[in-house]
Amino acid sequence: MKIHFYKYQGAGNDFILVDNRENIVDHHNPKLIERLCDRRFGIGGDGAMFLQNKEGFDFEMVYYNADGQPSSMCGNGGRCIVAFAKFLGVIDAETEFLAVDGPHIAKISAEGDWVSLQMIDVNELNTDLDAYVLNTGSPHYVKLVDGLESRDVFHEGKAIRNNATYREKGINVNFVEPMDKGYFVRTFERGVEDETFACGTGVTAVALAMASHNQQTGHIDTPIKVLGGNLNIRFNYDGKAFTDIFLEGPAMQVFDGVVEI
């Protein structure tokens, strides 16, 4: 069977997208997803997404990690599927869609390359020694460091993700360093089991954790630099809860093609 796929990237976080509104593809197959995401023997991607019909919503986002397993929320994936939905004519400038962590609203620019995606509210922020731990749709570990550009993110992140505390369920590990404006972030992602060029829920977690760390409140805008480009997170924080959280950044179609499955 041949299927038409599209490749999208959001700040270097890359995904395989398939229009599955007619339920042509049975995607409950970890080996298939893993093969498609393989960068040597498949299309290559940090994950795979299927855009599907869902009553009461513009569409449903079904997301799998590169290891073939169903994933928690992917922020950059969410932005890319919004751009994909606009390309398909499913939406215009605004949308409400369903993801694994619930409904999301989003806006996309007239040019179709900049997406502002509302994330879930966050009411709990914990610590693990000198790191912050929180869930922004996916679980994240946030650690302030120096010399991030030359840091061994793969091995340090892998060690934390697989330690006794997080081994069973896994966690995404974000290393963060302050910049003149905002922060520089590098992330080791569970499911991909490697460093990625960007992580949407990760940079969101960083922005929230740093607001708490710096005792900032009110409406906050936080520019974030990642290996794949620049993102922005804006939100409200009253000292206890984070609300009206938006992840903003580019989402672009790279190429499309046909693959045999």
Residues 175 and 97 in one domain: no
* Residue of 33, 74, 211, 233 with catalytic role: 74
Residues 214 and 134 in one domain: yes
Query: Domain count of the chain?
Result: 2
Residues in the chain predicted with pLDDT less than 70, given as ranges, are none
* Residue of 125, 199, 208, 224 with catalytic role: 199
| End-to-end CA gap in the chain | 5
Residues 107 and 219 in one domain: no
- How high is the pLDDT of residue 152? 98
Element (H, E) at 161: helix 153-161
Q: Is 80 a catalytic residue?
A: no
Residues 101 and 165 in one domain: no
- How high is the pLDDT of residue 89? 97
Residue 202's region, left for phi above 0, alpha for psi from -120 to 50, else beta, is alpha
Residues 218 and 166 in one domain: yes
C-alpha triplet 70, 73, 76: angle, nearest 5°: 115
Domain span at residue 175 reads 126-246
Residues 171 and 85 in one domain: no
Q: Residue 228 belongs to a domain with what CATH number? A: 3.10.310.10
Residues 172 and 222 in one domain: yes
Residues 183 and 228 in one domain: yes
For the segment 137-161, what is each residue's pLDDT rounded down to a tens digit? 999 999 999 999 999 999 999 999 9
